[in-house]
Amino acid sequence: MLHRAPATVLEVIQLGDAQQRVFSAVNRLSEREIPCEHAAGVVLARDVVATENVPPFANTAVDGFAVRASDVAQVPAQLRVIGTLAAGDATMWRVGAGEALRIMTGAPMPDGADAVVMVEDCEQSDPNRVTIKKSVAVGTSVRPIADDVRMGDTVFTAGTVLSAAGAGVLSSINARNVWVYPRAKVALLSTGDELVTDGSPLQRGQIRESNLTMLEVLIANSHCDVTNVGVVADDEALLERTLHEVARTHDAIITSGGVSMGDFDVVKAVLSRIADMQWMQMAIKPAKPFAFGLLNATVDETVNATEVVRTDRQRRIPIFGLPGNPVSSMISFELLARPALRKMMGHTTDLLRPTISAIADAPLRRKPDGKTHFMRVFGHFGVDGRLHVRDTGPQGSHQLAATAAANGLAIVQDGSGIDAGGAVDVMLLG
The answer to whether residue 228 scores a pLDDT higher than 80 is yes
Q: Which fold has domain 355-428?
A: Beta-clip (2.40.340)
Q: Given this model, what pLDDT does residue 429 score?
A: 94
Using alpha carbons, select from 269, 256, 265 the residue that is nearest to residue 228. Answer: 256
Cα separation, 195 vs 409, whole angstroms = 28
Handedness of CA 136, 140, 142, 146 (dihedral sign): positive
Contact status, residue 69 vs residue 116, Cβ threshold 8 Å: no
Whether the Cβ atoms of residue 47 and residue 156 lie closer than 8 Å to each other: yes
Using alpha carbons, select from 376, 339, 329, 379 the residue that is nearest to residue 356. Answer: 379
Ranges in the chain annotated CATH 3.40.980.10: 11-30+182-344
DSSP bridge partners of 111:
94
pLDDT in tens, 150-196: 999 999 999 999 999 999 999 999 999 999 999 999 999 988 767 76
Identify whether the C-beta of residue 43 lies closer than 8 Å to the C-beta of residue 183.
Answer: no
* Whole-angstrom distance, CA of residue 297 vs CA of residue 316: 6
pLDDT digits (tens, 9 = 90+) for 329-382: 999 999 999 999 999 999 999 999 999 999 999 999 999 999 999 999 999 999
CATH topology of domain 11-30+182-344: Molybdenum Cofactor Biosythetic Enzyme; Chain A (3.40.980)
Tell me which of 126-130, 198-202, 410-414 is least confident: 198-202
Q: What is the mean pLDDT of the chain?
A: 91
35-53+153-180 adopts what CATH topology? Molybdopterin biosynthesis moea protein, domain 2 (3.90.105)
Distances (CA, A) of 26 to 123, 294, 336, 341: 67, 9, 11, 8
Q: Could you tell me if 65 and 130 are in contact, meaning their C-beta atoms sit under 8 angstroms apart?
A: yes
pLDDT above 50 for 19? yes
User: Start-end ranges of CATH 3.90.105 in the chain?
Assistant: 35-53+153-180
Q: How far apart are CA 158 and CA 339, in angstroms?
A: 20
Decide: 288 and 15 in contact? Cβ < 8 Å: no
Are the C-beta atoms of residues 223 and 164 closer than 8 Å to each other?
Answer: no
Q: How far is CA 320 from the centre of its chain?
A: 20
Nearest of 138, 112, 147, 257 to residue 194 by alpha carbon:
257
Structure confidence at residue 357 (pLDDT): 98
SS3 content of the chain, % helix, strand, coil (to 5): 20, 35, 45
Give the pLDDT confidence of 284-327 residue by residue, as tens digits: 999 999 999 999 988 766 555 455 555 567 889 999 999 988 99
Answer left, alpha or beta for residue 140, where phi above 0 means left and psi between -120 and 50 means alpha.
beta
Check the CA dihedral 95-137-104-152 and report its sign.
positive
Q: Average the pLDDT over 228-250 and give the result.
A: 93
Instruction: Quickly list DSSP for 153-204.
Output: -EEE-TTPBP-HHHHHHHHHTT--EEEEEPPPEEEEEEE-TTEE-S-PPPPT
- Whole-angstrom distance, CA of residue 90 vs CA of residue 101: 14
pLDDT reading at 262 higher than 90: no
> In this predicted structure, what is the pLDDT of residue 314?
83
CATH class of 59-143: mainly beta
**What is d(CA 196, CA 209) in angstroms, rounded to the nearest whole number?**
6
pLDDT at 2: 47
Q: How confident is the model at residue 9 (pLDDT cuts 50, 70, 90)?
A: low
In sequence order, what are the beta bridge partners of 377?
Answer: 391, 408
Q: Residue 65: is it exposed, middle or buried by C-beta count within 10 angstroms (0-12/13-18/19+)?
A: buried
Q: Which ranges in the chain are annotated with CATH 2.170.190.11?
A: 59-143
At 1, the pLDDT band (50, 70, 90 cuts) reads very low
Q: Closest Cα partner for 396 from 331, 299, 340? A: 331
**pLDDT tens readout for residues 51-94:** 999 999 999 999 999 999 999 999 999 999 999 999 999 999 99
Burial group, residue 90, by CB count within 10 angstroms (0-12, 13-18, 19+):
exposed
- Which amino acid belongs to residue 130? V
pTM reported for the whole predicted model? 0.86
Angle, in degrees to the nearest 10, between helices 266-274 and 236-247: 50
> Residues near 317 by Cβ (< 8 Å), separated by ≥ 6?
247, 250, 251, 252, 253, 294, 295, 296, 297
N-terminal to C-terminal alpha carbon distance within the chain: 42
One-letter amino acid of 66: A
The ranges of the chain annotated as CATH 2.40.340.10 are 355-428
